[in-house]
Structure 1
Amino acid sequence: MRIVLNRAKCTGIGICEAVAPDVFEVDDDGNLVVLSAEVPAGAEAEVTEAVEGCPAQALRLEP
């Protein structure tokens, strides 16, 4: 699966980083950085939770 970020929607709250810190990081400027465009093996549940928990709906998963 691939992680897709809509930067225009992202508010940089960081819920995704709290849920999946090995995949998402909010930088010093409040911008979300996707550390791995592909969902790492074993992190599917955390990444799915982060995507579903995004209040701005800025993240989605593609096959």
Structure 2
Amino acid sequence: MGKYISIVILIIMASFFLFLALGSFFSSDIPYEPPLYIFGTIIVILLSVLISILFYIADLLKEKL
């Protein structure tokens, strides 16, 4: 299970570093920018968990075949 937790953490860290690196290119002064960051963060976390679950399912299928 530690393998899948590390996948989630690595994806979140990579997206955080991409956010820091690319955030300066796309900065603006729109009033609804903070909620966009919040929803974007939530989406990244949920997708990283989904990717980890897909890896888990693929490993289960490899075991059974």
TM-score by shorter chain over 0.5? no
**Greater fraction helix:** 2
Larger-Rg structure = 2
The higher relative CO (CA closer than 8 Å, separation ≥ 6) is in 2
**Greater fraction strand:** 1
With normalisation by structure 1, the TM-score equals: 0.32
